Structure 1
Amino acid sequence: MRRQTKERVIQGIFFSCASLSIIALGLIMYFLVTEALPTFTGFDAMGEHHSGVSFIDFIFGDRWMPVSENPRWGILPLIMGSVWVTLISSAIAIPLGIMTAVYLAEIAPPKVREIVKPMVELLASLPSVVIGFFGLAVVAPIMLEIFNIRFGVNMLNASIMLAFMAVPTITSIAEDAIHSVPDELKEGSLALGATHFETIRRVILPASLSGLSTAVILGMSRSIGETMVVLMVAGGAPRIPQTIFDPVRPMPASIAAEMGETSFGLEMHYFALFAIAMVLFLITFMFNLLADHIAHKYKQVGSATL
């Protein structure tokens, strides 16, 4: 009887810990929605009237000018900045991260692995402000000299720095996924006459697709939510980019740069920043749902392939 009681207590403790995450997520969502609604309704929590903006104009408006005489509240340039920076950084980080993971897990000699893996993990431990400073002080002058452009802090610079931050995450998780493939599958493939690279391409990678997709998801999630790097090296221009060398201002950078300039709960600018945070939260939430669906799909595809 005492054993059953102890198990119930332990089960209740674990259930409470799991519930805390859900409760925290719900409270964050409630706070964001409460602070963002006055942007669209025109009234704050105290019932005082403010000039609101429609949701369509807010999302698809192409001007973000919150402190001008005639304020404009369109965040399409901020959304496009976040999307393009994330896509370009992912295009750089995903191949590098996965190929590095394959090399460390299947190809590299033990001595090389002992040197390379700690260096990759050390890169993950670097503070984002250090990476941002590197992009500002080193990469920006190099871009100015090589490409003969007007701005060294731009979308490409921010994407490269975000890729540096995402590669260790992708590499670490992808390597664990590759190591989780049973040795019997590798040995069976080699025994049937397949080469090492054919085994990697046709057996190991399909068997670890679920873990690889998780690695890609977490790497992209870090890119889309990063603040300090894009604040320092993206250029800070709230406009829709035309080329990869244009300065941009992603949504996290706008929130970080402008929140300190607003009056708490007293003006439209304050509520609009929370509306940006709500949009960023929804985009991230939808992205994670889609990514979870893709991860399960890849898991089924990998199992069927084997």
Structure 2
Amino acid sequence: MKLVSRKHTEKFTARFFKACGFGAGSVLIALSLMLVWNAAAFFIHVKPYDFVSKTQWDPTGSPSAYGMLSMLISTMLVAVGAMLIAIPLGIGTAAFLAEYAGRKLKNMLKPAIEMLAAIPSVAIGFLGIVVISPGLAGLTGRSNGLNALNGAILLSVMALPTIITVAQDAIDGIPISYKEASFGIGASRWQTLTQVTIPAAAPGILAAIMLGVGRAIGETMTVLMATGNAIALPHGFFDAVRTMTATIAIEMGEVPFQTTHYYALFSVAILLFIITLVINMIGEYFVGRFKKFEIR
């Protein structure tokens, strides 16, 4: 009886997880089809090339304008700025925790870093307004510091817990025999870290970076609060910008249903989806190549 019961349990469990997998895939397909359907209704009225190549976004104007190049560049500017800060700081912190920090220090720092992920994005955006913005305003001599650099700093803070945690796990997962072999030929701890451990952990570190990029591009509330929301082509990190996610969040709540403006926001969403998909595919490609890495 126990054997029969175990077989039934295992069969039920296998079917349950299979159903969960199909359910998740079905939700993804349904969302993709919804985005494509609504975006197609927009591109009947506006050419895709005009949509991605023009800089003026004025859906309520006469005539209306649906050019989102400035928002695309603003999104990339903020995301790139965030990664320029978060990647070296995150990987350096992960390497320190994995290879240099003592047990007591690691037990203190690791929970503190992970707690950063629990801070609501609206709270981080508020800190950007009241703390970082005045500092940037004083540094640049402008009336306020609500600009792309402010958003990049805040997004780097939000991406750090993911990058540090995943990268540290990747470094910790390297077999101890690799390090012992390196020490055995006279390499220092720093040489072992930079020439053996980090290259061997490259797939996990790259995965951490990709997750951080995804967090930076997809974040909404923080950039909505801290970047100034100016729909204009930015010329640097000190210009006010509006990202694609902020545009959707600001305008979707008050746009008339099933209008060209309404469908335009779905077009912004599907472009954001495509960008994220391409980034993930590039990450998967390089992860696959790094997995072939062998220490000789």
- Relative to the length of structure 1, the TM-score reads 0.92
Rounded to whole Å, the distance in 2 between the matches of 1:146 and 1:235 is 17
Checking the alignment, whether the CA contact within 8 Å between 2:134 and 2:144 is kept in structure 1 is no
For the residue of structure 2 that corresponds to 1:261, the secondary structure is: coil
Rounded to whole Å, the distance in 1 between the matches of 2:240 and 2:93 is 30
Structure 1 range deviating more: 169-178 or 142-151: 142-151
Specify the code of the residue in structure 1 equivalent to 2:295. T
Rounded to whole Å, the distance in 2 between the matches of 1:293 and 1:238 is 34
Checking the alignment, whether the CA contact within 8 Å between 1:177 and 1:208 is kept in structure 2 is yes
Rounded to whole Å, the distance in 2 between the matches of 1:299 and 1:212 is 12
For the residue of structure 1 that corresponds to 2:291, the secondary structure is: helix
Percent of aligned pairs sharing the same letter: 38
Specify the code of the residue in structure 2 equivalent to 1:255. I
Structure 1 range deviating more: 7-16 or 144-153: 7-16
Rounded to whole Å, the distance in 1 between the matches of 2:271 and 2:260 is 16
Correspondence 1:119 to 2:112: yes
For the residue of structure 2 that corresponds to 1:305, the secondary structure is: coil
Counterpart selection for 1:40 from 39, 43, 55: 43
Counterpart selection for 2:286 from 294, 298, 301: 294
**Gaps in structure 2 of 5+ consecutive residues:** none
Counterpart selection for 1:19 from 7, 19, 22: 22
Checking the alignment, whether the CA contact within 8 Å between 1:151 and 1:247 is kept in structure 2 is no
Query: What pairs with 1:1-306 in structure 2 (closer than 5 Å)?
Result: 2=4, 6-41=9-44, 52-265=45-258, 267-301=259-293, 304-306=294-296
Specify the code of the residue in structure 2 equivalent to 1:305. I
Deviations 1:16-46 (A, max 9, x none): 11111111100000111122211111xxxxx
Rounded to whole Å, the distance in 2 between the matches of 1:7 and 1:125 is 36
Q: What is the Cα deviation at residue 14 of structure 1? A: 1.7
Deviations 1:111-155 (A, max 9, x none): 221221121111111110010000011100011112212441000
Rounded to whole Å, the distance in 2 between the matches of 1:116 and 1:8 is 43
Q: What is the Cα deviation at residue 5 of structure 1? A: 5.5
Specify the code of the residue in structure 1 equivalent to 2:273. F
Q: What is the Cα deviation at residue 6 of structure 1? A: 4.8
How many residues are paired up?
293
Checking the alignment, whether the CA contact within 8 Å between 2:220 and 2:246 is kept in structure 1 is yes
For the residue of structure 1 that corresponds to 2:62, the secondary structure is: coil
Q: What is the Cα deviation at residue 69 of structure 1? A: 2.1
Rounded to whole Å, the distance in 2 between the matches of 1:23 and 1:222 is 23
Specify the code of the residue in structure 2 equivalent to 1:296. G
Rounded to whole Å, the distance in 1 between the matches of 2:90 and 2:43 is 42
For the residue of structure 2 that corresponds to 1:300, the secondary structure is: coil
Rounded to whole Å, the distance in 2 between the matches of 1:193 and 1:305 is 16
Rounded to whole Å, the distance in 1 between the matches of 2:76 and 2:202 is 24
Rounded to whole Å, the distance in 1 between the matches of 2:63 and 2:106 is 59
For the residue of structure 1 that corresponds to 2:186, the secondary structure is: coil
Specify the code of the residue in structure 2 equivalent to 1:34. W
Deviations 1:252-303 (A, max 9, x none): 00000011121122x21111011101111111111111111111111213xx
- Relative to the length of structure 2, the TM-score reads 0.95
Q: What is the Cα deviation at residue 12 of structure 1? A: 2.1
Structure 1 range deviating more: 204-213 or 64-73: 64-73
